[in-house]
Amino acid sequence: MEYPFKGRVFSVKVERVKLPNGRVMSVEAVEHPGAVAILPVLDDGRIILLKQYRPTIKEWL
């Protein structure tokens, strides 16, 4: 893993990861102390959630 940028508020890291399909690639990620999330709620009250693979943490979210 390498850090092409390290700052006071955030840093950028580049990591080589192996995806679930076996492909290896470089992934850039921003490291910071906070995060933002958006939760879509339909008019009838249903909530939409997406499952995404996050290669930098090697998990499905």
Q: Report pTM.
A: 0.50
C-alpha–C-alpha distance, residues 1 and 16, integer Å: 7
Structural domain boundaries, residue 8: 2-60
The answer to whether 33 and 11 are in contact (CB under 8 A) is no
2-39 pLDDT, tens digit each: 999 999 889 999 999 998 899 999 999 989 888 777 88
Predicted local distance difference test score (pLDDT) of residue 5: 96
Place 45 in a pLDDT band, splitting at 50, 70 and 90.
Answer: very high
Predicted local distance difference test score (pLDDT) of residue 12: 95
Predicted local distance difference test score (pLDDT) of residue 44: 96
How many domains does one find in the chain? 1
